[in-house]
Amino acid sequence: MHETTRLLRDLVRLPSVNPMGRPLQGDFLYEHRVTAYLEQVFRELGVPYERQTVAPLRDNIVARCDVSGARRTLLFEVHQDTVPVDNMTIDPFGGTIEDGRLYGRGACDVKGGMASMLGAFARLVREKPAGACNLLLACTVDEEHTFLGVQHLVRRFKADAAVVAEPTRLQIVHAHKGAVRWYLETTGRSCHSSRPELGDNAIYRMARVLPAVEEFAEWLRGSYRDPLLGPPTLSVGLIEGGTSVNTVPDRCRVFIDRRVVPGEDPNAAPGALLAWLKERIPPGIPYSCTEPVLSLPALGPQGSEDLAKRLGAAIDAVAGAHEVHPVPYGTDASTLAGAGIPCVVFGPGDIARAHTCDEWVPLDEVEQAAEILYRLAQAG
């Protein structure tokens, strides 16, 4: 079994589920098992490494390979967490290999990419080819929910360029939308449902607010179109309200997902919605927005052109050809770019397989990705 395949199988067999704000319980939660495994790998390689505590049982871990005479430092960044395992039709932590695919939660998103980066990093440590760059390998936490890991990472570590692992089918992603999420709330007055006229129903109030939110979402899509990423968007994905069927609810809230394009300030998004609602909602309906629970900027292509060119040359040498394109989803790359580190996204697997009931990654792409990443680091 090839080293990267062994690494991937080991990683998939170690649960690192992000509860993503849900009240999940079990011994499969959080990234600490993967972090301990990575620490052992780095010890065996004899490289310096550092753990960076983000939350209980949730540490970033960053290893370094220094090459004599290196002119710059390259960062490989990959997240340790996965989404939950609800409704999976395979053993989520089995790491089963069949027909050239490895199956399990996180195989595609993004432990296949992690195994590729580990394989390239280990080879650079062993060979230390002349002319190579210094290499940082950062394995972060909480990418699937609030991106806390990468936010801690950029406070401590810097590099001249970075590659973020995500399933891109060995193509280069140079731009993506950002995301900001917050709650919109209405309030009322509770009472027994046998006398509803004595209360104020917060759910009814939200029902009067939501049409204006939908109108804002439609307006937003026509307000501006980024040349690469298209328009900004807004979606209501979750609604909560009430405590029991026989109580008039005094509170209702919806969870809003707003996708931003380059040039937009994510933190200004809730205020823009409130300004729209102020012109359309009668004063007698109280509503408010919470502070964002997630704020992720968009990634633009500016500044990463040279990195994309060098990575593209490595892809061409291994896989024959490459494309550079944008994607609509968010990654850790925009936070790195916002910290002044030119960044692109690259890895094995197809994003269409991420989070699925039978998640898998093709092993030939994992091996190719390791070779491509090594060649990128080797070129200095």
Dihedral pair phi/psi, residue 288, rounded to 5°: -160, 165
Count of all residues that appear for the chain in the document: 380
Q: 78 with 117: CB under 8 angstroms? A: yes
pLDDT digits (tens, 9 = 90+) for 250-299: 999 999 999 999 999 999 999 999 999 999 999 889 999 999 999 999 99
Which of 296, 327, 350 is at the close of a domain? 296
Q: State the amino acid at position 237 in one-letter form.
A: G
Same domain? For 330 and 284 the reply is: no
CATH number at residue 81: 3.40.630.10
Same domain, 195 and 216: yes
C-alpha distances (whole Å) from 4 to each of 96, 116, 128, 279, 365 are 15, 6, 19, 57, 11
Note the pLDDT of residue 380. 77
One domain, residues 252 and 348: no
**Do 306 and 335 fall within a single domain?**
yes
Residue 21 confidence (pLDDT): 84
In contact, 103 and 96? CB cutoff 8 Å: yes
**pLDDT at residue 22, rounded to an integer:** 85
> For position 2, what pLDDT does the model report?
87
Positions in the chain whose pLDDT score sits under 50: none
pLDDT score of 130 = 87
Question: Do 274 and 343 belong together in one domain?
Answer: no
Give the closest residue to 71 by CA, choosing from 337, 379, 344.
Answer: 379
Q: Could you tell me the pTM of the whole model?
A: 0.92
Domain termination residue (choose one: 280, 296, 312): 296
At position 358, the amino acid (one-letter code) is D
pLDDT in the model for residue 310 = 97
Same domain, 38 and 183: no
Q: Give, as one character, the DSSP assignment of residue 268.
A: G
> By three-state DSSP, how is residue 202 classified?
helix
Last residue of a domain, one of 264, 296, 328: 296
Q: Which tokens in the block code for residue 309?
A: 């060119």
Same domain, 60 and 149: yes
Residue 330 shares a structural domain with residue 267? no
Q: Which residues contact 86 (CB under 8 A, 6 or more apart)?
A: none
Report the CATH number that the domain containing residue 194 is assigned in CATH. Answer: 3.30.70.360
CB contact at 8 A, 4 and 367: yes
Our count of domains for the chain comes to 2
Query: What is the four-CA torsion angle of 30, 31, 34, 37, rounded to 10 degrees?
Result: -100
Instruction: State which residues form the domain around 225.
Output: 178-296
Residues 345 and 264 in one domain: no
Please tell me whether residues 92 and 143 are part of one structural domain.
Answer: yes
- Specify whether the CB–CB gap between 175 and 239 falls below 8 A: no
